Amino acid sequence: MTASVVTVLIFLACVAGCSSQVAPAGTAASVPSSPQAPAKTHATLEPEQMVLQISDLPGNYTLVTSGERNASKVQSWMHNAGWKKGYAVLFQKNESGSSAHPAIWHYVYQFPVENASRVVSLQVDGLVIYDAQDERNRNTTFLELASPGIGDTSRAVSIADKDDPEIMNMIAFSKYDVYEELWCNATPADYENLKKVAAIAAAKIE
């Protein structure tokens, strides 16, 4: 093999090797992507730190009661879903000259993250399917409302008794491993306020 042939072969080998490592002209070299931060799945605050405060509510409210929800105050189906801990508050609106006493109940519970959204369906389906079929509720109407679009999953129910002019509304939602319920009585306008308050409650979950 002549020296000139050897030189050509070495040159071709170099070209082949370099072409596999250097991006062709006019193209961008690939840049390793930075690792993505894992999606958040668990709240870092305690239930007591995530409940609503008077300053979060529209209008003039008074805190009636607040406290930890211990195991004896939680329904068995919640225990079956892995209930861990919870906290609750009750606010009452101050309205002079009114026989009605609009109120807001707020419950904050923590579950295994895989069950938090499932609890939303368990609660709402329990109302609009099973409670609605209970003979004791024959004078009561359970109506599911449009989803308020809060948190990871949310559903809402309106409960009306034909012998009571007040309507009870409930919003249930989940975010991360937190499940929350908000209840209010009184008028349709109060439900619009409840949706706003529920959005504030969801924003407290960190």
Q: What is the CATH number of the domain that holds 154?
A: 3.40.1000.70
29 occurs within a structural domain? no
**Any domain includes 7:** no
Domain count, the chain: 1
The whole model's pTM is what?
0.79
Residue 33 within any structural domain of the chain:
no
Instruction: Inform me whether the pLDDT recorded for 26 exceeds 70.
Output: no
Contact 138, 162 (CB under 8 A): no
- Kindly report, residue by residue over 97-110, the tens digit of the pLDDT: 555 678 999 999 99
Owning domain of residue 52: 47-203
pLDDT tens sequence across 49-82: 999 999 999 889 999 999 999 999 999 999 999 9
- Higher-pLDDT residue of 47, 38: 47
Whether residue 31 lies inside any domain: the answer is no
Residue 94 lies in a domain: yes
Query: Is 27 a domain residue?
Result: no
Q: Is 126 a domain residue?
A: yes
Residue 98 confidence (pLDDT) = 54
Sheet of 85-93, strands arranged across: 61-68, 85-93, 103-110, 178-186, 167-175, 153-161, 140-145
The answer to whether residue 25 sits within a structural domain is no
